[in-house]
Amino acid sequence: ASNLQRQVLHAEAEIGAPKVESARRRLLALNPGVEVIAYEQSLTSANALAIAREYDLLLDCSDNFPTRYLVNDAAVLLGKPNVYGSVFRFDGQVSVFDAKSGPCYRCIFPEPPPPELAPSCADGGVLGVLPGTIGTLQATEALKLILGIGASLSGRLLLYDALEMSFETVSVRKNPGCKLCGENPSVTALIDYELFCGLGADAPGWEISASELAARLQEGAPAPLLVDVREPHELEISRIAGARLIPLGELARRAAELGGASEIVVFCRSGGRSRRALEILAAAGIGNARHLQGGINAWAAQV
């Protein structure tokens, strides 16, 4: 019920129903001549390309950064335009990201903000009418693309200030160094976006305990590639035999060195830097890495 103040497709009678089904019924009530296909599932790296491949353009109406980057990357990889919209409190943004003729979302926002600085609508609040305003602008851009009329917002970011009732556009350019659509892309497939946005590095699947790692190394080939993200002087205190030293500050630049490994385990002193290392590797399209829980301190204590 608390979500209804910012909705245009749903009503109180629909509370408890899946949003996709509620939206489908409302759209068919408005125009029974259209076909509405509802996907009652989360959009993920596993299904995004298969779903998006069936359509001519995508509209990003999401409210979280993992989905935003996922939609953008799927659009670029499939060569489809992405009609982008976002809202926060009293402000909104709209653009068209079409990597064939202009920038993609990553060109402007190559890295997501830290999770603690990215509040949701529930946390940060939003003026109830604002999503409807921005959504209508997105619909306008989508219709222009379908009909081949007018000038799209590709290469421009529209900024809307509801308090001042003002619109402003700023020019945005394609970034030649973009990791996705630049001249030498390093992201060539969909990645783990929860991890990329700093939301998944503490999940059990992304950690390996010291005892488990020791057992994996004793098994022999194929042994995981060990990557030490500490500083060189820390090797004088402790080290794990066979580990490759790539300090955290150099990891983004040297991530390509790790592309051929079938399994990667990164570690630091106690686990903090190695969690950040997972996010850097995920941003580079390397998703087969885990980090050593508790770092080399845990290795020293347990192994």
**Half-sphere exposure of residue 29: CA atoms within 13 angstroms, side-chain side:** 8
> For this structure, is 104 an active site residue?
no
Going along 156-208, which residue ranges are E strands? 156-161, 166-171, 207-208
CA atoms within 13 A on the CB side of 67: 14
Q: Cα–Cα–Cα angle for 180, 183, 185, nearest 5°?
A: 35
Q: From residue 192, how far is each of 281, 282, 288 by CA, in Å? A: 10, 6, 10
- Choose, from 104, 107, 197, 268, the residue flagged as catalytic: 268
Active site residue 107: no
Contact (CB, 8 A) for 187 and 286: no
Coil, strand or helix at 114:
coil
Decide: 75 and 49 in contact? Cβ < 8 Å: no
| Candidates 61, 104, 121, 197; catalytic one | 121
Q: What is the 3-state secondary structure (H, E, C) of 149-160?
A: CCCCCECEEEEE
CA dihedral of 92, 93, 94, 98, whole degrees rounded to 10: -160
Residues with active-site annotation: 121, 268
